[in-house]
Amino acid sequence: MKKTGLAVSLLLVLTLFMAVTVSAGPAMDRIVKTGELVIGTSGAQPPLTAVTKKGEIIGLDADIARAMADAFGVKVKFKILPFADLLPALEAGQVDMILSSMTITPTRNRKVVFVGPYLVSGKGILTLLDRYATLQQATGLNAPEVSIAALKNSTSQQYAEALMSKAKLIPTASYDEAIDLLLKKKVDVIVADYPFCALTAYRHQDKGLLAGKAPLSFEPLGIAMPEDTLLVNWVQNFLILLQGSGQLQEMHKKWLTGGKWVDELP
């Protein structure tokens, strides 16, 4: 009975894909006419988005984007930009949507549409010092003698500003810059998405990097999109189908539990 119910649910979703054929906006028209889905991403937030040694975009976000393009019947094109430039690029029509470990927030949602979440994450800590790695609350970093790096214009920066206001905050253009500051001991802690912290600590055990033991916050990640009713409806139904079929869970397992793909990273 459960299998029959799932089959019926998926059939209904597929029917929605076929039935909604009116009110296409400029973004949907552009994708159909060009035969290309342009995805904005930083390419620097593994395990969700990363660039391999060969220059290929991989990660959970990349797999979702490729599955979406296949369902759409078009090619996927990744446009790599600094994280802080992604939303301006979307608003300017330079990308069709953003898949880049982007948290759904009320402030961002005032400017662009979000579909999701496709993953619930949280803030994590990356450090060289045990006394910070074992902290259970962000308030333990709220001190003038603590220096913190966080990605510019990210929710990590907002999180640090709100809960670690007494600490010295250094916004960085990329995670690579933040890691370099940490390894040179110019900052004590990096505040970033928990999956990134866990993966980076695993990759750089030889350098003594440590990740916090658990997420410090609730972070729903979504697909940022323009206000195009038909395109938004299509992506909503696509995510329902991706989750209902079990594909999304398989993607989570592939990218969030490590694997041989880690060796492909520079």
Going from the N-terminus, what domains does the chain have, and what CATH number goes with each? 2-120+221-264 (3.40.190.10), 123-211 (3.40.190.10)
Residue 84 class from Cβ within 10 Å (0-12 exposed, 13-18 middle, 19+ buried)?
Answer: middle
pLDDT at 24: 64
Which H/E stretch holds residue 8? helix 2-19
Which H/E stretch holds residue 224? strand 219-225
How many other C-beta atoms are found inside a 10 Å radius of the C-beta of residue 137? 9
Whole-angstrom distance, CA of residue 62 vs CA of residue 64: 5
Whole-angstrom distance, CA of residue 11 vs CA of residue 239: 14
Residues in the chain, how many?
266
Whole-angstrom distance, CA of residue 53 vs CA of residue 203: 15
How many other C-beta atoms are found inside a 10 Å radius of the C-beta of residue 117? 15
Q: What is the mean pLDDT of each run of 10 residues along the chain (266 residues)?
A: 49 47 75 96 95 96 98 97 96 96 95 96 92 83 95 93 95 94 96 92 91 87 95 96 96 90 91
pLDDT at 243: 96
